[in-house]
Structure 1
Amino acid sequence: MFSPGEAPRVRLPLGSAFRMVWASATLSAIGDGMRFVALPLLAARLSGDPRDIALVFLAEQAPWLLLSLPAGALADRLDRRQLLWRVDAARAVVAALPAVLVVLNAPSIPLLAATGFLLGAGEVLHGGAWAGLVPALVPREERPRANAAIQAGMLVGDTLLGTPVGAVLFTVAAAGPFVVDTASFAVAALLMALVPGDFRPRAASAGTTAGVPAPAGAGNLRREAVEGVRQLWHRPLLRRLCLVAAVSNLVLSGLIAVLVLFARDQLGLDGTGYGLLVASFAVGGLGGAGLAPRLVAGLGAGRVLRLVMPVAAVLAGALGVTSSGVVAGSLIAAYGAAATVWNITAVSVRQSIVPAELLGRVGTAYQTVTLGAGAVGAAASGALAHVSGLRAPFLLGALLLVAAAGAALRIPAEVRPEAEADAEAEAVAME
């Protein structure tokens, strides 16, 4: 799967259950894209201080630092499908709050930050359940294709459709994007509820016996959460992937946090132009989603992961010096392609080397680090832009990505499932 030069094989259908999951994720992403562009636009209407804009973005990321480890443990003991649809139903209620605030003419930065935090908390629970859903539906050799399909659907829904439409809709009625977000979560919850099957992990692992989930309780939940951290730390490949992804997400989140002001003050774009800038990320991401499985098949996952970070560093630096909206859109599209190739390849590797019953815990431990880095990046970017100008986060981000590229060079050129590597290491040790 992850080594180049394999004989061609027949591509298997992904199945009707996977198609329903894909539709749920894509519809939910449309509303997310509208909220993604509308929330900072609403915040920018209330304040021109980069620190306030960054605060709203930071609030959406903060739950990954606070809640992700217990969320992963919950995902490894509950039916993941049920967890997903219930979380989406709850997010539908929370997403309506900004619309109500606009109608009542009562929005404020603290209230927008609180909304972002609650939606971020739902995203944490959602992400923990997602970590084990694709491996339960799709065989290992088809996972790069399945992950690419989900990534492409979410990019189309979130950034290519939701973001520009949300920006235009915001100019017509500020509450509109949040109303659509509410509806998209509700429909996504319904579709996920209709997916057939039992998605409760059954394999034995830490905290389980003979495939029977551990008894519910705070103590067991803490132990299970710690097991996810331990697995992440003691697997060298996972640890390196996590480190590189953390630096990458720190930079990306920092750039996103100031992009609305960068577009307005440095590129001379209005709200619609900002939405189109963000949409260009999705255009590139779609290309990256189509390219990633082919690159993995042709070069091997390790080589692909080595190549992405240097490209991203060049693109971030170029963004920091351009004053053209067209050039910026092109660079962001290329950045989107590079980021998507990395994400699809890295998640496929993770799904291959982590046991199914640990995917929730390891996945959320991984995301705690990467998205926690994103929260730090958002806060630091706002402060840096306030002191040194809006171009500074892009230029510093390029330097950080150069460092990440150096770390990525130590990823093995040919990545194998961890069980095979462990067995080989054990055999060598016994000789």
Structure 2
Amino acid sequence: MWTATAISNLGDGVTMVAGPLLLATVSDDPALIAGGAFAAQLPWLLFSLISGAFVDRLDRRRLVVVVNLLRGGVLGGLAVVIASGHVSVPLIYLASFLLGVGETLADTAYGALLPATVAPADLERANARLGATFTIANQFVAKPFGAWLYGVAAAVPFGLDAVSFVVAAVLIAGIAGPPGEAPETSDKSRHKAVPLRMEIAEGLRWLWRHRLLRVLAVAMGVANIAFCAAFAVFILYARERLGLTDVGYGFLLTTFAVGGLAGAGFAARLARRFGTATVLRAGLIVEVGTHLTLALTTNPVLAGGVIVIFGVHTMVWGVLVSAIRQRTVPDQLRGRVGSVFGLLETGGAALGWLLGAVLTQLWAVTTPFWIAAFAMVAVTAAAWRPLAEATPASVRSEPTPRTS
């Protein structure tokens, strides 16, 4: 499973670089180029809750295998069209949308598969290793590699990503034993009798009644809005506020990945040393401090240092929250509850990007950072007491959650 995610992350990173380059080759309209990212995100807004219900209905391992093979087919077909010289913007949008639909299913299923594959006590370490692999493969290696491959031939990066999906599917199919098979496979009649909307509602109700997970989900959603609003025009901030060149901006972006990689190494140890609740609370303070510092400073070195710390926090927070959710949510609900987290994360990001662009046009380039700081102060105050429940005793796997 770890190897499969590493290979697919490398392929995804290559495509993330090659996709905008391909759109820029086909069209010089900035709106059309930006639309490619929206086409890939749109399925999360439309289908994430539905995908979560299907993840709980179906055998998760087989679902990942089938979805990866289909995504490989989409990318393989796109590579052939590119090589033939008949690629167009609508076709690229369609491929991006279909890949996004597959991502809602596969990513949700992966999150539900992990607790069936790894012992509960090892979930932090497992999530941290997956996070580190994503950072290395997707952020460090894939970006320059993808740009180089696109220079060799426009179709090559997409063909490579297609192969990566097929290899990942083969690896997941070869996992020994029965991990990931939904427990309700012995009760398929229940799913046939219950409408999909009722199953989705069941997952939403379960999450809303569990105070700790509800607070974590809402906090992550608001934090994503704040973060993406602040960083929507980060290139303008780097140029106008920090006085950086485009090369300097590129180096500044790498500080996120540096921090994320470090956070993957620290996450489990920090939780053991200080306790999960303390680390999560400290992360909220880091969020506030990051936005305040970036709103005030004009020093690129200070900004880079703060972003490294922020990168550490985001990785640690993600690892710990994933482990809490995987331990706490009953297996038959993991897909649906995980899909709500995915919806809030992606929906918050989409809203944040739009909000940041609007705020910067109305006021100064630092305005989104100030608003993000105040928003995170409110989140920190609201979440502080509920986060005390993030202890080993309160996050154990139980069929009946603690409610409030």
Same fold (TM over 0.5): yes
Aligned equivalent of 2:175, options 195, 212, 217: 195
Deviation at 1:164, TM superposition (A): 3.1
- For the structure 1 residues 419 and 153, does the alpha-carbon distance in structure 2 shift closer, same or farther, using more than 3 Å as the test? closer
Secondary structure in structure 1 of the residue aligned to 2:387: coil
Indicate yes or no: 2:290 matched with 1:309: no
Secondary structure in structure 1 of the residue aligned to 2:187: coil
- For the structure 1 residues 420 and 79, does the alpha-carbon distance in structure 2 shift closer, same or farther, using more than 3 Å as the test? closer
Cα distance in 1, alignment partners of residues 224 and 72 from structure 2 = 27
Indicate yes or no: 2:229 matched with 1:249: no
Cα distance in 2, alignment partners of residues 79 and 422 from structure 1 = 20
Over residues 168-194 of structure 1, what are the superposed CA-to-partner deviations in whole Å (9 max), with x where a residue is unaligned? 444555444333322222221221121
Q: Which one is further off, 281-290 or 21-30?
A: 281-290
Q: Which one is further off, 286-295 or 385-394?
A: 385-394
- Aligned residue for 2:3? 23
Cα distance in 2, alignment partners of residues 29 and 424 from structure 1 = 34
- Aligned residue for 1:15? none
- Aligned residue for 1:403? 378
Over residues 310-341 of structure 1, what are the superposed CA-to-partner deviations in whole Å (9 max), with x where a residue is unaligned? 21233245446677776655444332211101
- For the structure 1 residues 220 and 214, does the alpha-carbon distance in structure 2 shift closer, same or farther, using more than 3 Å as the test? farther
8 Å contact from structure 1 (residues 384, 392) kept in 2 = yes
Q: Percent identity?
A: 37
Within 5 A, what are the aligned runs for 1:66-85? 66-85=46-65
CA RMSD of aligned residues (A): 3.4
Aligned equivalent of 1:162, options 119, 123, 142: 142
Deviation at 1:342, TM superposition (A): 0.5
Deviation at 1:417, TM superposition (A): 3.1
Deviation at 1:59, TM superposition (A): 2.5
- Aligned residue for 2:274? 299
8 Å contact from structure 1 (residues 160, 283) kept in 2 = no
**In the comparison of the two structures, how many residue pairs are matched?**
397
- 2:261 corresponds to which letter in structure 1? L
Indicate yes or no: 2:246 matched with 1:269: yes
Aligned equivalent of 1:35, options 6, 12, 15: 15
Over residues 83-139 of structure 1, what are the superposed CA-to-partner deviations in whole Å (9 max), with x where a residue is unaligned? 11211111222334664565427443x554443322221110012211221110112
Within 5 A, what are the aligned runs for 1:327-338? 329-338=304-313
- For the structure 1 residues 318 and 186, does the alpha-carbon distance in structure 2 shift closer, same or farther, using more than 3 Å as the test? farther
In structure 2, the gaps of 5 or more residues are none
Secondary structure in structure 1 of the residue aligned to 2:68: helix
Indicate yes or no: 2:124 matched with 1:144: yes
In structure 1, the gaps of 5 or more residues are 1-20, 427-431
Aligned equivalent of 2:325, options 350, 371, 388: 350
Cα distance in 2, alignment partners of residues 39 and 320 from structure 1 = 32
Deviation at 1:236, TM superposition (A): 0.9
- 2:387 corresponds to which letter in structure 1? P
Q: Which one is further off, 75-84 or 211-220?
A: 211-220
Cα distance in 1, alignment partners of residues 41 and 319 from structure 2 = 21
Over residues 198-228 of structure 1, what are the superposed CA-to-partner deviations in whole Å (9 max), with x where a residue is unaligned? 222226xxxx8xx523455495322222111
Deviation at 1:279, TM superposition (A): 4.0
Cα distance in 1, alignment partners of residues 365 and 74 from structure 2 = 32
Aligned equivalent of 2:71, options 87, 91, 94: 91
- Aligned residue for 1:341? 316
- For the structure 1 residues 146 and 412, does the alpha-carbon distance in structure 2 shift closer, same or farther, using more than 3 Å as the test? same
Cα distance in 1, alignment partners of residues 371 and 152 from structure 2 = 36
8 Å contact from structure 2 (residues 48, 339) kept in 1 = yes
Cα distance in 1, alignment partners of residues 88 and 280 from structure 2 = 43
Secondary structure in structure 2 of the residue aligned to 1:213: helix
- For the structure 1 residues 94 and 259, does the alpha-carbon distance in structure 2 shift closer, same or farther, using more than 3 Å as the test? farther
Q: Which one is further off, 315-324 or 344-353?
A: 315-324
- Aligned residue for 2:40? 60
- For the structure 1 residues 379 and 90, does the alpha-carbon distance in structure 2 shift closer, same or farther, using more than 3 Å as the test? farther
8 Å contact from structure 1 (residues 164, 275) kept in 2 = no
- For the structure 1 residues 214 and 330, does the alpha-carbon distance in structure 2 shift closer, same or farther, using more than 3 Å as the test? farther
- 2:36 corresponds to which letter in structure 1? V
Secondary structure in structure 2 of the residue aligned to 1:298: helix
- 1:201 corresponds to which letter in structure 2? A
- For the structure 1 residues 100 and 410, does the alpha-carbon distance in structure 2 shift closer, same or farther, using more than 3 Å as the test? farther
- 1:355 corresponds to which letter in structure 2? P
Using structure 2 for the length normalisation, give the TM-score.
Answer: 0.84
- Aligned residue for 1:222? 197
Cα distance in 2, alignment partners of residues 231 and 24 from structure 1 = 31
Over residues 3-46 of structure 1, what are the superposed CA-to-partner deviations in whole Å (9 max), with x where a residue is unaligned? xxxxxxxxxxxxxxxxxx00000110011112223334555664
Cα distance in 2, alignment partners of residues 385 and 112 from structure 1 = 30
- For the structure 1 residues 217 and 254, does the alpha-carbon distance in structure 2 shift closer, same or farther, using more than 3 Å as the test? farther
Secondary structure in structure 2 of the residue aligned to 1:195: coil
Q: Which one is further off, 248-257 or 226-235?
A: 248-257
